[in-house]
């Protein structure tokens, strides 16, 4: 008799020792918070999880979650190079090494006797991680450089794919994709509850609820269902600190962030026909406001709140190296990746990021908005 899906997930986790949790590019607070919640559960199961995020460190407004510092920006030390020495007849007395002209010299001193070349063998070890848990990744490409730099690792390692998006391509060996859920935090709660409800403590519950509140704009989006609210109630009953979550997500804006908001809103432009809004931030804006790139997700959220009828929101900003980057966020059924397909983009169907070299912010504004308008009209 086939195992239920939740039991299959549990068996996959049991067989794993070092699981890797992947957060995709432009995944937002929901995927970060859900990843931290899943990491808590894995630790309770005596595993050694690592979280790696395509966009790097967790957003500042998630720093109240206890394991936010554990998130890594890159996949490093995936495999080790092993030098095997047959010491059955000749024992090792001392090992030392030195770097010389970009070469590593390894010195082995025997207790007696000597070794020759036939006693030494070199090989590459297996991968450091034995299970991948992707949260909120519609496909491999959503993991951006994590996948591009290590495709063989993704193809050779079992994947548990957790998502709620209808665009998900079910690429995992186990696909936990709930289209009725409002957020990855909700999917994660339902999965862990079906495995063992006792695994969800107050820290895990707070992480999952954080994902749900962030994704639904505090339960204001149109995909919130009675089940969503019931799940939120269960998490609060398990100790999730709703007041802390709301305080950290929405009530702790710095003066610098507020100044950046003001500058972005002052330049807000709109195209009524395509329901697209956009704005620009120069390096001078960042300097005068005292803001930083970390504040940009908050700026995007404020643009959306200020433009409730907008289907596409674009934030163009100038980097410290004078290159121009953009964040494009869309509402379903629009696809941000499709709308920006002629550019080099990274992200999800809901949000992408793209950068332009050797162009002014005005040139990028004209080029990008024109391209997106044309696709929206067809």
**Sign of torsion over alpha carbons 214, 217, 221, 224:** positive
Distance CA 161, CA 108 (A): 46
* pLDDT tens for the chain, residues 1 to 378: 456 888 999 999 999 999 999 999 888 899 999 999 999 999 999 999 999 999 899 988 899 998 999 999 998 888 777 788 888 888 888 888 888 888 888 888 888 888 888 888 876 667 889 999 999 998 998 888 899 999 999 999 999 999 998 889 999 999 999 999 999 999 999 999 999 999 999 999 999 999 999 999 889 888 899 999 999 999 999 999 999 999 888 777 778 778 888 888 888 898 888 899 999 998 988 888 887 777 777 777 777 767 778 889 899 998 877 889 999 988 878 888 889 988 877 777 788 888 898 899 999 999 999 999 988 887
Whether a cis peptide bond, with omega within 30° of 0, leads into 333 is: yes
| Other Cβ atoms closer than 10 A to 358 | 8
DSSP notation for 159-184? EEEEE--TT----SSEEEE-TT-SSH
Domains for the chain: give ranges and CATH numbers. Answer: 5-75+129-249 (3.90.1640.10), 79-127 (no CATH), 255-377 (3.10.310.30)
| Other Cβ atoms closer than 10 A to 66 | 12
Residues contacting residue 310 through CB under 8 Å, at least 6 positions apart: 270, 275, 276, 277, 303, 304, 331
The CA-CA-CA angle for residues 227, 221, 326, to 5°, reads 135
């Amino acid at each position: 008799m086939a195992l239920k899906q939740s039991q299959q997930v549990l068996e996959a986790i049991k067989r794993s020792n070092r699981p890797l949790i992947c957060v995709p590019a432009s995944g937002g607070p929901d995927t970060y918070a859900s990843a931290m919640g899943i990491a808590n559960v894995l630790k309770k199961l005596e595993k050694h999880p690592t979280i790696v995020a395509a966009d790097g460190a967790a957003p500042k407004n998630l720093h109240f979650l206890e394991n936010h510092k554990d998130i890594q920006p890159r996949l490093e030390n995936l495999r080790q190079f092993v030098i095997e020495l047959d010491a059955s007849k000749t024992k090792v007395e001392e090992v030392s090494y030195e770097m010389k002209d970009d070469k590593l010299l390894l010195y082995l001193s025997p207790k007696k006797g000597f070794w020759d070349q036939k006693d030494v063998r070199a090989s590459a070890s297996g991968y450091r991680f034995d299970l991948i848990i992707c949260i909120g990744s519609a496909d491999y490409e959503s993991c951006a450089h994590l996948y591009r730099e290590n495709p063989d690792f993704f193809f050779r390692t079992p994947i548990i794919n957790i998502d709620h998006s209808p665009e998900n391509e079910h690429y995992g060996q186990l696909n936990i994709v709930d289209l009725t859920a409002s957020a990855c935090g909700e999917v994660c709660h339902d999965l862990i509850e079906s495995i063992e409800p006792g695994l969800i403590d107050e820290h895990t519950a707070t992480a999952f609820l954080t994902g749900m509140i962030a994704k639904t704009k505090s339960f204001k989006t149109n995909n919130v269902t009675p089940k969503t609210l019931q799940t939120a109630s269960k998490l609060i009953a398990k100790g999730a600190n709703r007041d802390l979550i709301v305080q950290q997500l929405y009530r702790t804006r710095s003066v610098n962030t507020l100044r950046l908001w003001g500058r972005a809103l002052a330049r807000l432009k709109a195209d009524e026909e395509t329901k697209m809004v956009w704005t620009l931030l120069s390096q001078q804006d960042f300097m005068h406001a005292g803001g930083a790139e970390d504040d940009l997700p908050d700026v995007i959220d404020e643009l959306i709140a200020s433009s409730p009828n907008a289907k596409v929101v674009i934030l163009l900003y100038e980097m410290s190296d004078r290159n121009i980057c953009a964040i494009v966020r869309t509402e379903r059924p629009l696809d941000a990746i499709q709308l920006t397909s002629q550019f080099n983009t990274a992200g999800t169907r809901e949000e992408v990021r793209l950068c332009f070299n050797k162009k002014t912010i005005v040139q990028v504004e004209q080029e990008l908005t024109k391209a997106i308008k044309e696709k929206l009209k067809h």
